[in-house]
Structures are given as structure tokens and as C-alpha cells.
Amino acid sequence: MTKFSELNLNPKVLKAVEEAGYDTPTPIQAGAIPPALEGRDVLGIAQTGTGKTAGFTLPMITLLARGRARARMPRSLVLCPTRELAAQVAENFDTYSKYVKLTKALLIGGVSFKEQDMLIDKGVDVLIATPGRLLDHFERGKLLLTGVQIMVVDEADRMLDMGFIPDIERIFSLTPFTRQTLFFSATMAPEIERITNTFLSAPARIEVARQSSASETIEQGVVMFKASKRDREGTEKRALLRKMIEGEGDACSNAIIFCNRKSDVDIVSQSLKKYGLDAAPIHGDLDQSQRTKTLDGFREGTLRFLIASDVAARGLDVPAVSHVFNFDVPSHAEDYVHRIGRTGRAGRKGKAMMICAPKDEKNFDAIERLLQKPIPRLENPLGQTDFEAPSETADDKSDTKSRRSRSGRGRSKPSDTAQDRRAEAPVEPPVEAPVVEAVKESAPTRAPREEAPKTEQDTSRNTNAPRNNNRRNDRGGGGRDNNVVGMGDHMPSFIAKSFDERRAG
């Protein structure tokens, strides 16, 4: 088995590695370090958690041990997709370079430009940055990349997901053609393969088998969940999460709770705090100082629950995490492995639990296909397999109709007839219809019109009106027809006739 001492690293670097407690390199480290020390380009394909950071940090320190940086012209560049991953790379650099006099600068968002400019002006050997903040400094004229000798792109597939590929291509064009490139990615999407073919020269390809299964030390489980109503899903889901946490008791010393959306991260965090649980959110929209403070509190044990988006799923190393809760099923199956990999590290036991709603079943099936085994189903701690939707009672229906009527959205369709509405209404005894009387009594109110000479049409109208009204009474409609088509006690006879003729037709 290969040892670090066999990899031709700088003796001062080896001393720092030994003090960190490492003796045997991981497969990606054993494969990437030798060609990197030879000055070759390296293409590493491996999942997070396989030791890629040391795989490029150790040869970089060895190669940069000789030489000195100039102002505003870093000698090496490491690009990371997130601020947290960049900060972790910086910590690794500090650990392994403590016996080598090298300087570094960390360029990430949420930190003052002024402080970063001061470091760059002094000259740095290693520049660790996120793409956006790096280009901000370049466009302000504070940084030159023409002195970069070694360039590292870490978590390239994550860069692709976050839309950084155009920025990566631009940064490549700003660096010397003679640079050495170390390129690492968990997968090789077509877009990433195109970049490697364009910007890498005869790279040494080191591929570690895809991490398609979680560690055997992680106990997994899933609760199949169905909300009683769509608008109650969030509330019931958060209640279920609290019950799951409560069911773990003291065994849940700390946990990371993953959500797919930033808005849900904030809502879940507020909900847990409302019910007396020590929780704090972390996602990309928060100020960097707050994100750093939250992570430090979680690492030190002063914060029990870290509510996170996928910004914390990759690259973050918190050694003792007892539980991981997936409040949402991740959209990509590989992200599930990354998420639950935050627990059960370094041989420790861990537990990963997930909530799966009906809309998540497609993504859940993809996860089980990736793992090539089913995830054990857990009993719903609320005492039922899922939330059964209550049947709609007659009172509920009448209330719904009443609300619709008040809001103007419950009007009958044009095809509805008075007869249909009568069929739906409660059966009532017939009432003597005052229709004929109403029509007759309407004559005095229209006196000026009756004093005029009557035409043949008027005569026909007068003779037909009683006949049609009698027909309406014979049909048994009573006053209910008048309530539907009439206009009150003063309805003119010619209007009554028009409705009667329509009914007769």
C-alpha cells in the first residue's frame, strides 16, 4: 500500500501531514499527486469526501515552495463553487503549509473588498476564490492573472449546476497558456468534457469509482408522507419533522436538516426555534459573516440544528454529525449521497432520515436505483401511514357554495335551468301562485298604455297572458317559476308572455 512518504512530497509538507494524523493517501490522492508533481495536467473524477482537497493542495505547496509572488500577481489559483468550500480549502492550505513560508488570500463574497485588496497588493502565492468575486477584483483592476502557474478547478460539476461555466471559461482565457491545470469533477457532463478538451493538455486521468452507495455506518430510513390538504402540506410536514427529532431523543446530539429551497430553509429554521429547538439557517442569500458564524457554532457544538440548502451538501467537513434529515427529497440522486455523507464520517455511526411526499416519488425512485437497494420505510411518528384527506360533508359543501356565492365565483353556468335549480333545492310544499293576480294587478300601473287604442297584437297579448299563466299553474310550478323568471308584483304582461312562450317552446 502506498504511503505519503513514497510520493516525493516536500519533507516539510510530509511533516505537516503526519501531524494532521494521515499516513496513507486515498485513491484519488495516490493517483493525482505523482503526475501533478511532474507538472502534468490532471483530470480527477471523484465524489466529494474522497480527499480531493489534499490531492491538489499537497503537490501545489511542494511546487510553490520555491519562488516568490509579486504584487497583484498570484502564482496559483484555486476556484471553488461556494464560499464554504473555498474557506475549507483555505483551512487545508493552512494545515499543510505551516512549515512552508507561503502566503494566501481568500476571495469570496460577503467580505470587504478593501481587506482583500490589501492582501493582493502584498502579493500572494495561493489565491482561493469563487468565480464571481475573482472577476469582480479583475474588472476593478486590482488583480492580474498572467502570473498564474498552477490553476485548480474544484467541484466542476457543481460549477455547472450553479451556472459558473461561462465565468470559468473567461478565467481560463485570462491565465497563461503554459499554466498547469488540475481539474476535478464528480461527473463528466458533456459541457464539462468540452471544457477539459479545450483547456487541458494531455491530462493524466484519475477516476475513482462513483460513490453510488452510502457508508455502511449510516442507518437510513424514509417516512412516506401525504398532506391532508395541499395548503396544509408545509405545516404538517414541519410537524412531522419535529416528531421525528423528538423520537430520536438524546441520540440526536446535532443534525443537519436539508431543504431544496432557500425559502424553506428560513421557514423550517423559524419553526424549530418557535418550538424551542436550537436551530439556524445557512444558504447563499445570507451575509457571509452570518454564514461563517453559524458554521463555527455548529462545529463547536453551541448550535444543535443546522438548516441548510445544498450549499452545505458538498465539501464541508464537520466530523461529529449524529443525524441528517432530508426535509425534501433532493432533485438529483447523487445529492442524496452527498447530503447523508455529512454523518457517519471517519468510522462513526450516523443516521439519515427523509420525508417523501407524493410529488417526490419520481426523485425517490431515482435515489433507490442509484443505491441499488430500497431505503427502509419508517413508521410515521404521528401514528398513521399518511395524512388521510377527510371526506367532504354536506355542511362543508353548503359552506363552500355559500362562500362561492358571496365571492361571485359560484354563479350557475349558462346551461343551468330553473328546473335544475329546483331539483337541487330542498323539497317544499307548493305555494299558491299570485302570478295571475300580479299580472292582472299590473294593468292599473300601466294605465296610460291601456288608454291607447288597442291593436290586434295587444288584443292577442291580453288574451294569451291568462292562458299562459294558467298553463304555468297547471305544470305545478306555483310561485317558484315566478320567482325565477318574474320581476315582482309589477311585472308587465308582455314580459310574462315572452317567458311563457319560451317555456311552451
Residue 253 resides in a domain: yes
- CATH number of the domain that residue 247 is part of: 3.40.50.300
The whole-angstrom separation of Cα 185 and Cα 52 is: 10
Output the nine-digit C-alpha cell for 413. 353556468
| pTM listed for this prediction | 0.63
What is the pLDDT at residue 475? Answer: 44
Domain-terminating residue out of 371, 394, 411: 371
Query: Are residues 461 and 320 both part of a single domain?
Result: no
Contacts of 465-468 with C-beta under 8 Å, sequence gap 24+, read 465/439, 465/493, 465/496, 465/497, 465/500, 466/436, 466/439, 468/496, 468/497, 468/500, 468/501, 468/504
Give the mean pLDDT of 451-474: 44
pLDDT at 494 over 90: no
pLDDT band at residue 488, thresholds of 50, 70 and 90? low
What is the pLDDT at residue 425? Answer: 44
Lowest-confidence range among 24-28, 215-219, 324-328? 215-219
Q: What is the dihedral of CA 296, 301, 306, 312, to 10 degrees?
A: 50
What is the pLDDT at residue 399? Answer: 39
Query: Are residues 103 and 202 both part of a single domain?
Result: yes
pLDDT at 35 over 50: yes
pLDDT at 455 over 90: no
Q: Which amino acid is at 144?
A: L
pLDDT band at residue 504, thresholds of 50, 70 and 90? low
Query: Are residues 169 and 24 both part of a single domain?
Result: yes
Domain-terminating residue out of 207, 229, 259: 207
pLDDT at 242 over 90: yes
Query: Are residues 45 and 168 both part of a single domain?
Result: yes
Residue 405 resides in a domain: no
What is the pLDDT at residue 388? Answer: 42
What is the pLDDT at residue 500? Answer: 58
The whole-angstrom separation of Cα 37 and Cα 182 is: 11
Residue 417 resides in a domain: no
Three-state secondary structure readout of 370-434: HHCCCCCECCCCCCCCCCCCCCCCHHHHHHHHHHHHHHCCCCCCCCCCHHHHHHHCCCCCCCCCC
What is the pLDDT at residue 1? Answer: 54
pLDDT at 80 over 90: yes
Output the nine-digit C-alpha cell for 206. 484519475
Containing 233, the helix (H) or strand (E) segment is helix 233-248
Query: Are residues 141 and 53 both part of a single domain?
Result: yes
What's the domain count of the chain?
3
Query: Are residues 160 and 51 both part of a single domain?
Result: yes
Q: 183: domain range?
A: 4-207
Query: Are residues 203 and 223 both part of a single domain?
Result: no
Q: What is the pLDDT of residues 254-281, one digit of tens each?
A: 999 999 999 999 999 999 999 999 999 9
